[in-house]
Amino acid sequence: MNQKSSRILLVHGHEPPRRDVRGFLEQRYRFRECSLEELPGWDWQEPLEVLVDAPLSTSADVNLVRQALERVPRDGPGVAFIIEELSRAQIVRAHSLGGEGIVSRPITAYALYATIDTLLNRSRIRQWSTDLGPAAAGLAAGNEALEQLFQFAAKGTRLTQRELYDHGDNVIDTLAETGLGKWIEAVKAHHSATFRHSLLVTGVAVGFGQHLRMRHEDLRRLAIGGLIHDIGKAAIPVEILEKPAALTPEEELIVREHTTLGRGILNKQGGFSPELVDVVAHHHEMLDGSGYPDGLAGDAIKDLVRIVTIADIFAALIENRAYKLPLPNDEAYAYLLSREGKLDMQLVKAFEPIAYGTKLAA
Ligand SMILES: [Fe+2]
Ligand SMILES: [Fe+2]
């Protein structure tokens, strides 16, 4: 599981950590444990986000936690708290101790993962700003757009196309400034496989569009299209989506549904342009009619979709997954060339400098 490269430090009070927390963490992250007493002496060589599971019932408890947290590097990890009950007093205490996230008992996997993923995303964005300076704005924007998109898909919160335009413009500016290589290097370290893939497809699609000297309006469609192309995956169980092994044929069929699920999500929300709905629904169609979900062929597959399809396949091939090594760029490109009849060969030929210029594979 790809999140397992993300590290969490679970800090417990006098009692050893409860099984609920351990069980949930084990399924999704790599984590280490220490007690409040051990925390001040912790060696912060490796980056860890901190999850505190210690009582905050009395002011003595709070002081104990405060003292333990004092030696945690200030610009280092994010801190989240598990509290016993959703009471105002405990929330205030957790915030006063610098808690950026709070989960209350009884714990659900969804609440715990959402809180920890937010910490991980923040630290990723901090890392991007250190590595790339102001040019990290586009990555942060892409990441934020994905967070909003997945929340919107999972919980039905509203999302306006206007917000996505702003995020898309930030992505375009960043790519123009830093180039595709840096974008991809930065994205590769993202903790979520789905976000990493979406940001990678976005970078490759926009980079390709810039190389083709497409109009700003079309680049914007590619940026947003790349971000949202797999939005339907928000409705696929995460155990299948981030399974650390190849999928069974039955699981493969479930994953294929992300195209129609994505179309449904956008149509329900409303306000998305037909071009974008087209990208989401049809980025797995093939020119010879062998793709899915609608078996479209030839001219029925529009240029914008064709570009996203090429970026999508290329990104998937060069990606590192728990169960497969990334293909070197030349082999990934050779695969695209071998798909004559299915992919637009004129576009594949034009893609060559993008495929070779990115220095992606280790
Ligand atoms: Fe897809
Ligand atoms: Fe994809």
**Distance from residue 334's CA to the centre of ligand 2 (Å):** 19
Cα atoms found within 13 Å of the Cα of residue 317, Cβ hemisphere only: 18
* pLDDT for 6: 64
Going by CATH, does the domain composed of 2-107 fall within 1.10.645.10?
no
How would you list the strands of the sheet with 49-53, edge to edge? 30-35, 7-12, 49-53, 79-83, 101-104
**Distance from residue 32's CA to the centre of ligand 2 (Å):** 33
Q: In terms of Cα–Cα distance, which of 105, 221, 82 is closest to 165?
A: 221
User: Is the Cβ–Cβ distance between 2 and 120 less than 8 Å?
Assistant: no
Share of the chain above pLDDT 90, in %: 45
Distance CA 167, CA 141 (A): 5
**Distance from residue 312's CA to the centre of ligand 2 (Å):** 5
260 alpha carbon, closest ligand: 1
Domain regions of the chain by residue span: 2-107, 129-357
Q: Exposure of 276 by Cβ count < 10 A (0-12 exposed, 13-18 middle, 19+ buried)? A: buried
* pLDDT for 134: 73
Residue 2 has pLDDT above 80, yes or no: no
- pLDDT, tens digit (0-9, with 9 covering 90-100), for 159-184: 777 778 888 898 998 888 888 888 88
**Distance from residue 202's CA to the centre of ligand 2 (Å):** 10
* pLDDT for 150: 77
CATH architecture of the region 129-357: Orthogonal Bundle (1.10)
- pLDDT, tens digit (0-9, with 9 covering 90-100), for 99-154: 989 999 998 888 898 889 888 888 888 888 887 777 788 888 888 888 888 777 77
Distance CA 48, CA 6 (A): 8
Residue 189 has pLDDT above 70, yes or no: yes
* pLDDT for 4: 57
pLDDT band at 1 (very low <50, low <70, confident <90, very high): very low
- pLDDT, tens digit (0-9, with 9 covering 90-100), for 29-88: 888 999 999 998 888 877 789 999 999 988 889 999 999 998 887 777 889 999 988 888
**Distance from residue 266's CA to the centre of ligand 1 (Å):** 15
Q: What is the mean pLDDT of the chain?
A: 87
Residue 359 has pLDDT above 60, yes or no: no
The pTM of the full predicted model, rounded to 2 decimals, is 0.79
**Distance from residue 283's CA to the centre of ligand 1 (Å):** 6
232 alpha carbon, closest ligand: 1
Distance CA 339, CA 348 (A): 9
- pLDDT, tens digit (0-9, with 9 covering 90-100), for 278-328: 999 999 999 999 999 999 999 999 999 999 999 999 999 998 776 777 898
258 alpha carbon, closest ligand: 1
User: Is the Cβ–Cβ distance between 222 and 205 less than 8 Å?
Assistant: yes
